[in-house]
Amino acid sequence: MLPISNADGDCLVGEERLRYIRGLQSLVPLHEHTEAISLVDEGRIEVRTRLDAPVDEYGIPRPEIMVERLMDLMKTENYVWPGQFDEHHLATPKADFSVVRTAEEGNIGSAFRGLACLKIELPRQMHNFSHAVFELPGRPSLEIMRQAVLEVGQARQLLSIVN
């Protein structure tokens, strides 16, 4: 696996963060289409642009914000992202959410992280690119997570009644 480093060779992300970036080789051809990353000696990827997490005013990750910001980094119009599609969780890392439990609701953090609106299918290269350029979103407050899970559940119930 290629390290992510700056021009001085300093690692820009910790070992824990590197676990979220699989297949860094897929980013090598991307350096020709964006100034956000570059290829340095020995085939290492340099992340030149770091973006704040794509979250709304409540701290909830938003896929439309993420995709818009990623596309803004591209200098090649209509770039075709290679790789199979896979599921990208916007609420990461998993460990930050799996520890949020309450006696009444159980594992509310995992329920929040598992909401369909917080997952998006992306081509593998775009998935890797997003992990490379975005800061981790952090975890919203328990109240925000609880409310999001409740509202999605209510919307699901209404939809089942209408249909």
Q: What is the pLDDT of residues 76-117, one digit of tens each?
A: 888 999 889 999 999 988 888 888 888 888 889 999 999 999
Q: Which residues of the chain have pLDDT under 70?
A: 1-25
**Model confidence, pTM:** 0.79
Write down the pLDDT at residue 123: 93
**C-alpha 22: how far from its chain's center?**
13
CA 42, CA 9: separation in Å to the nearest integer? 11
Give percent of the chain above pLDDT 90: 56
